[in-house]
Amino acid sequence: MRVIVLSDSHGAVGRLSTILTVAEQGGPLDAIIHLGDGYWDLRELKTDLPPVYQVAGNCDHFRNDTLGFATLSGAKILLTHGHYQHVREGTDDLLELAMDEKCHAALYGHTHYQKMEWRNGILILNPGAVNDGKYAVLSINRLGAIDPELCHL
């Protein structure tokens, strides 16, 4: 399974479209994850999209769904924008939440900086900001093992 992880598109629908096109050159996408601050941007593309999992960010006014979960090929993934987990100060709160929820990965945005680390066997990943040409691709095998890649245009 190939999953693209996006965040912080902030209305940059053209850049979002380009990223999706480039990512699909590596093979079909089975799912899209958007981690907020551009909640409505994928809907602007008016194309057939694979299943979309998304949460709202601090700039997605009138939305309060800032935390979510997706189970993809057996891997339980925590989705958040990260502002309520104080990710600008570090990922300890995010890791604790992921451990409490027995997640294999915790994905967040908010900082606009790409970051990937494994802590306590849990993938902690920020794909960076779409409006900076940054994103991530997760390859998840049938056993739920995640192989992440940070990407940029």
Q: Per-residue pLDDT for 46 more than 90?
A: no
State percent of the chain over pLDDT 90: 92
Q: What topology does CATH give the domain 2-152? A: Purple Acid Phosphatase; chain A, domain 2 (3.60.21)
State the pLDDT confidence band at 77, using cuts at 50, 70 and 90.
very high
pLDDT of 101 = 97
The b-or-e profile of 27-40 (16+ CB within 10 A means b, else e) is eebbbbbbbbbbbe
Question: pTM of the entire structure?
Answer: 0.96
State the pLDDT confidence band at 3, using cuts at 50, 70 and 90.
very high
State the pLDDT confidence band at 62, using cuts at 50, 70 and 90.
confident
The b-or-e profile of 113-148 (16+ CB within 10 A means b, else e) is ebeeeeeeebbbbbbbbbbbebbbbbbbeeebebeb
Query: What does the block give as tokens for 50?
Result: 């694979």
pLDDT of 61 = 86
